[in-house]
Every structure is written in structure tokens, then in C-alpha cells.
Amino acid sequence: MLISTKGRYAMRVMIDLAEHMSDGFIPLKAIAQRQDISEKYLESIIKLLVRARLLSGQRGKGGGYRLTRPPEAYTAREILELTEACLAPVACLEPGAGPCPSAAYCRTLPLWRGLDRVITEYLNGVSLADLMQKTAPGNDYVI
């Protein structure tokens, strides 16, 4: 699994909008400038997010984009699944993959299933609100 530029930028856009929620609708140009992403490329990402109803848009003067829910209500997985073809670590675990002819004797399948479960649980456990914090989630332990 390799997260594409589109996935990484979608995460950055969502964090940016979460951090500027009090500003109302944020123009695409402002997001593009803050995130150093081309407006043209950003348009394609925003379309996906609006179509999935993670964002709402408003045209005209005072228009732009904003989150449809509070930052705590978004997971990293939900955002990445919109931009990535698949988050599975191997092809046999991709959604819609046919039965693997080697599954009955594959010694590594449990490893890949476990990794897939860890990835899913981790991404489900990280909210947009977590990503707004200055420290990375999970780095708050004390010895």
C-alpha cells in the first residue's frame, strides 16, 4: 500500500478546513495557497470530497468550501478511501478480489490479514481532530 499524492493532499485539505472552520466557507484559492497545491489539482480532490458529502460548497461571493461535520466525526480511513483505489496491503485482500487459489496453503495470508486489520483499526482510530493537534496521535505516552 502506497498512499498517493491525491490521498496525502486530501488529508491536508481536510485538516486545513478543520483549522479554519470559524472562517465559514473557505475559497479554493486560499486553501491552495496555504497548502502549496495547484488549484487545478485541488479542484479534482475537492470534487471527490464534496461528492462524498465530507465537504459542502457554495458558489459566488463569500463562497468556498467547509466541513459538513465536526472534525471529531471524520476518520483518516474515511478520507483516504475516497482517494485510494485500495488500502489493502496485498491484492488478494482487495475488495472484490476473487478467491485466491493459494489461500488454503498460503503461509503468509495470516500475516497480510493481520496487517490489513492493523491498518484499518489505526486509520479508523485517527480523527481529523487528532490530526489538528501539534503532536502526532499516539505520541502522548510517558515513561
pLDDT of amino acid 48: 95
Q: For residue 141, is pLDDT > 80?
A: no
Q: Which cell numbers hold the place of 134?
A: 501539534
Find, among 119, 127, 25, the residue nearest to 66 by Cα.
Answer: 25
Q: For residue 137, is pLDDT > 60?
A: no
* Three-state secondary structure call for residue 64: strand
Q: Is there a contact between 44 and 83 (Cβ–Cβ < 8 Å)? A: no
Side chain identity, residue 41: Y
For 40-77, write each residue's pLDDT tens digit: 999 999 999 999 999 999 998 888 999 999 999 999 99
Mean pLDDT of 94-101: 83
Q: Is there a contact between 52 and 82 (Cβ–Cβ < 8 Å)? A: yes
To the question of pTM greater than 0.95 for the whole model, the response is no
